[in-house]
Structure 1
Amino acid sequence: MDHADRPDRPVTSAWVTVDLVIFTVRDDALQVLLVERGKEPFQGRTALPGGYVGTDEGLEQAARRELWEETGVDSHDLHLEQLGGYGTPGRDPRGRVVTVAYLALGPEMPEPVAGTDARRAHWTPVEKALDDEGRHLAFDHAVILRDALERARKQLEYTTIASAFCTEPFTISELRHVYEVVWGQPLDPSNFRRKVLKAERFVVATGQRTASVAGRPAALYRRGEKKLLVPALLRAGEE
């Protein structure tokens, strides 16, 4: 090895894990999927689902496997993207562990089924999960959860990802509800509708309407093919 290629400080081997932040809208709240750890460290504490990356699998493959093994949720029904890496020394008492976090979004999903080393899996309102700054969460999962929440809120401004929370077909009102829940602020219905329909290929009309016994039936839409939201939909205070 050339001297210039040598590290200028001691290095150590590290284990690699994946953690998942899965958001959905349930009971008019943004909820996150959490598990109760069935073994040490942090046995009995609440955590994000996740685990070690196998020697024969990639990061995303490991994330999808861990999600299925610990909760019984099929990741192929979700929007899945890499959130970032977390490697602060001491974040895991077992040793040097670097985790790669993934953000997953999906429409209202059923109750998960715990498996492998998870004692219980359950949906929890994000606001409740971050009570007391999330100190009850294992590892550095409160930090990861806060980062994921801000990523999701930002994504709603500049991408069409909000439709991933909706079961097709959906109404503009249902889409607006997603924004209100994730952003935590009410939106003017008329103004929101105008902005959504003005955005290039955000939603596509199906030509159908809801079956309503009272009031005017609402138009139904499906997801458009556009990924970036043009023009952007900004939160109050972001304009």
Structure 2
Amino acid sequence: MSSLRETNLVYKGGNHPLHGTWLSVDLVALTQDVDVVRIALITRAGEPHRGATTLPGGLLAAWNQETVEQAARRIAREKVGAEIVGGVAILDVVSDPGRDERGHTVSIVVGVRIPAGTPGALRIDDVPDDMPFGHSPMVRAALAKIRTGLFTDPTLTYALLGESTTMAEAMALARACDPDASESTIGSRLRRCGMYHPDHSRRRETGAGRPALVFTRTLKAS
């Protein structure tokens, strides 16, 4: 069987439902730029929707015992040309049977960070509103999940900000998801979240002005 549709047509009812649905991993890959965080999108090379702009994604290689995290790192490497920096945060599971005309594909939407300056990454404001496979609303939902989970969900926060961060780095990510957030609000959330503490013995070069104070993961945070 060479397509999702062929697979779904072969397995019906209670015959073998495991093979009636495919799992994809779709990346909301945000750059580590501290001026304006950008998002990696790709131009599809194959059908359907050849030439369309979409999120980088692909099928989970379950036949190779691949995990979601391994798939995300592979997809970033193969389709974005970048290595993931940090962890992989699961942001959403989209199970709309009609989003892919080839068959029912359940999408595991993950948030990851990629290096600053990754070629081809776009400003979030430039994300098309009509990407196929439901990718446009998936981006909006993912950014909303990051907006609410940053500084409240340790797993998401450490995956996207890392074991250590600076105020500028945290602010860039927060504003990518909520452009109206004020500097004072973001700073207060970082300082009060309990996940990081200021490490006055450490500074990080920023390339502009004096080195920035580093906030380090609080060990007791879970």
TM-score (norm 2): 0.73
Q: CA deviation at 1:179?
A: 3.0
Equivalence map 1:35-184=2 (5 Å): 35-54=42-61, 55-56=63-64, 57-75=66-84, 77-105=85-113, 108-112=115-119, 122-130=120-128, 134-135=129-130, 137-159=131-153, 161=157, 164-165=160-161, 170=166, 172-184=167-179
Change (3 A) 1:163 1:223: farther
Deviation at 1:162, TM superposition (A): 7.7
Counterpart amino acid of residue 182 in structure 2: L
Q: Secondary structure at the match of 2:28?
A: strand
RMSD over aligned Cα atoms: 3.4
Letter in 1 for 2:152: Y
Using a 3 Å threshold, how does the CA distance of structure 1 residues 26 and 109 change in structure 2: closer, same or farther? closer
Q: Secondary structure at the match of 2:118?
A: coil
| Structure 1 unmatched ranges of 5 or more | 1-8, 113-121, 230-239
Residue pairs, 1:170-209, within 5 angstroms: 170=166, 172-189=167-184, 193=187, 196-208=190-202
Q: Please identify, of 92-101 and 192-201, the stretch whose mean Cα deviation from structure 2 is larger.
A: 192-201
Percentage identity across paired residues of the two chains = 24
Q: Deviations over 1:122-157 (max 9, x none)?
A: 211112205xxx11x121111211111101101124
Whole-Å separation in 2 of the counterparts to 1:221 and 1:177: 15
Amino acid paired to 2:217: G
1:71-111: CA deviation from partner (whole Å, max 9, x where unpaired): 12222x233111232221221122222222211135x5232
Q: Counterparts of 2:175 and 2:109 in 1: how far apart (Å)?
A: 25
Report the alpha carbon displacement of residue 204 of structure 1 after superposing the two structures with TM: 2.8
Who is 1:220 aligned against?
A: 213
Deviation, 1:188, is 4.9
In the alignment, is the contact (CA less than 8 A) between 2:202 and 2:213 conserved in 1?
yes
Q: Distance in 2 between matches of 1:221 and 1:186?
A: 21
Q: Which amino acid aligns with 1:28?
A: D
Confirm or deny: 8 A CA contact 2:94 2:108 kept in the other structure. yes
Partner Cα separation in structure 1 for residue 202 and residue 68 of structure 2: 41
The structure-2 alpha-carbon separation of the partners of 1:39 and 1:227, relative to structure 1 and needing over 3 Å to count, comes to farther
Specify whether residues 201 and 74 from structure 1 end up closer, same or farther in structure 2 by C-alpha distance, changes over 3 A only.
same
Q: Structure 2: 5+ residue runs without aligned partners?
A: 1-11
Computing the radius of gyration from Cα coordinates, the structure with the larger value is 1
Say if 1:18 and 1:99, in contact at 8 Å, map to a contact too: yes
Q: How far apart are 1:20 and its partner, in Å? A: 0.9
| Larger helix fraction of residues | 2
Q: How far apart are the structure 1 equivalents of 2:142 and 2:205?
A: 36
Deviation at 1:30, TM superposition (A): 3.3
Asked if the contact 2:124–2:176 (Cα under 8 Å) also holds between the matched residues in 1, the reply is no
CA distance in 2, matches of 1:18, 1:163: 17
